[in-house]
C-alpha cells in the first residue's frame, strides 16, 4: 500500500524502501515493531504535528474534594543519622489525575464565573461604555482593550499555581482546596495532548514519520549486520553492516534536526 494507514502498512512500506523483498532485510519482526513504537513515541513527544493544543474540562465532585484535601505521608530515607531524623513529613494530595495522552499543561482558567457580571464589575463597566460607539470603534482596538482588561483581572485576582509531570500524570493545583473551590465547579485546563494514531490514521502517512521509521529500521539492520563484520557469505559476498549503520545515523540526525527546527518555528508563530 502506497499510503500507510496502520502500524502494519507502515512497517511494510519502510521495508520496501530498504529493498525488500528483492533484498533480505536482516531485522526480526519484533525488532521492527519495537522501532515503530519508538518512532511513534518520538513523533508525539518531539514532532510539531504529534500534539494538539486543547482545552479539557473537569467538574469537581465530592470525591475530588475529599481526596484533594487529604495529606499523604512521605517515606523518609533511613540512610545516615541526624538530630532531626525522627521528623515526619506529609504531602498534600491536591492534584487531578490527567489522561496519559496529555503531554504538557500550560495553565488553568480562573474559577471565578465571568458569565454573570454585575453592574459594579470592572468588565461590565468597561464594556458598557464601549457599546455606545462600538460601530465607529476599530474591532482591533476593542480587542486590545479587552486583552488588557483580562491581564489586569489576572493580576488582581491571580492565577492558581500549577505543577505537572508527565510520568506521574498528576496536575497539582496549589491552592486552598477547602475554600478556593466547591463541589460542582469546573476546572478548564489549557494543555497539549498527543494525537492518537489509531484514531487519526493519517499519522502513519506523514512523510517525516515514514522517512524516520525507514531510517531507524535501517539502523537496526546495520546494527545486526555489524555483529558479523567481515564475514564472507556464500558466493563471496562480504557483509558491510558498518556502512549501513553510519548512513542510517546520518539520516536520523538530519530528520531529528528538521523536526526540532520545524517545532521551534511553529512555537514562534503560535507564540
More confident residue, 94 or 123: 94
Over the stretch 31-65, which tens digit does the pLDDT of each residue have?
A: 999 999 999 999 999 999 999 999 999 999 999 99
Q: Looking at 55-69, 84-98, 130-144, 244-258, which range is the least confident one?
A: 130-144
The reported pLDDT for the residue numbered 208 is 97
Q: Looking at 4-8, 58-62, 265-269, which range is the least confident one?
A: 265-269
pLDDT band (50, 70, 90) for residue 91:
confident
Residue 166 has pLDDT above 80, yes or no: yes
Q: Where are the alpha helices (DSSP H) in 54-121?
A: 62-68
Pairing of strands 186-194, 170-173: unpaired
Q: Please answer whether residues 180 and 111 qualify as being in contact, where contact means their C-beta atoms are separated by less than 8 angstroms.
A: yes
C-alpha grid cell, residue 126:
468597561
C-alpha grid cell, residue 8:
502494519
How distant, in Å, are the alpha carbons of 110, 125, 165 from that of 156?
12, 17, 28
Residue 23 has pLDDT above 50, yes or no: yes
Query: Rounded to an integer, what distance in angstroms lies between the CA atom of residue 121 and that of residue 114?
Result: 10
How distant, in Å, are the alpha carbons of 99, 116, 194 from that of 49?
19, 38, 9
* Interval 119-139 mean pLDDT: 53
Over the stretch 72-81, which tens digit does the pLDDT of each residue have?
A: 887 766 666 6
Contacts of 264 (CB under 8 A, 6+ apart): none
Q: Read off the pTM.
A: 0.75
The reported pLDDT for the residue numbered 4 is 96
More confident residue, 59 or 82: 59
* Interval 193-215 mean pLDDT: 97
pLDDT band (50, 70, 90) for residue 156:
very low
Amino acid at each position: 500500500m502506497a499510503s500507510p494507514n496502520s502500524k502494519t502498512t507502515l512497517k511494510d512500506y519502510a521495508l520496501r524502501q530498504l529493498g525488500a523483498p528483492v533484498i533480505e532485510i536482516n531485522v526480526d519482526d519484533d525488532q521492527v515493531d519495537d522501532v515503530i513504537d519508538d518512532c511513534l513515541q518520538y513523533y508525539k513527544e518531539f514532532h510539531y504535528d504529534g500534539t494538539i493544543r486543547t482545552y479539557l474540562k473537569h467538574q469537581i465532585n465530592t470525591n475530588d474534594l475529599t481526596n484533594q484535601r487529604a495529606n499523604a505521608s512521605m517515606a523518609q530515607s533511613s540512610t545516615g543519622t541526624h538530630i532531626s531524623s525522627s521528623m515526619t513529613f506529609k504531602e498534600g494530595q491536591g492534584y487531578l489525575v490527567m489522561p496519559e495522552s496529555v503531554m504538557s499543561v500550560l495553565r488553568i482558567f480562573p474559577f471565578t464565573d465571568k458569565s454573570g457580571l454585575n453592574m459594579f464589575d470592572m468588565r461590565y463597566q468597561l464594556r458598557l461604555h464601549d457599546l455606545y460607539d462600538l460601530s465607529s470603534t476599530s474591532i482591533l482596538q476593542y480587542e486590545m482593550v479587552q486583552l488588557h482588561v483580562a491581564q489586569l483581572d489576572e493580576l488582581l485576582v491571580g492565577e492558581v499555581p500549577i505543577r505537572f509531570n508527565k510520568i506521574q500524570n498528576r496536575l497539582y493545583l496549589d491552592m486552598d482546596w477547602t475554600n478556593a473551590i466547591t463541589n460542582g465547579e469546573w476546572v478548564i485546563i489549557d494543555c497539549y495532548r498527543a494525537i492518537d494514531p489509531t484514531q487519526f490514521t493519517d499519522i502513519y502517512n506523514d512523510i517525516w514519520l515514514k522517512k524516520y521509521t525507514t531510517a531507524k529500521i535501517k539502523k537496526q539492520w546495520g546494527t545486526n549486520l555489524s555483529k558479523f563484520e567481515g564475514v564472507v557469505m556464500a558466493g563471496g559476498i562480504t557483509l558491510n553492516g558498518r556502512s549501513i549503520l553510519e548512513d542510517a545515523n546520518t539520516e536520523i540526525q538530519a530528520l531529528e534536526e528538521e523536526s526540532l527546527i520545524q517545532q521551534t518555528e511553529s512555537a514562534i508563530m503560535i507564540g
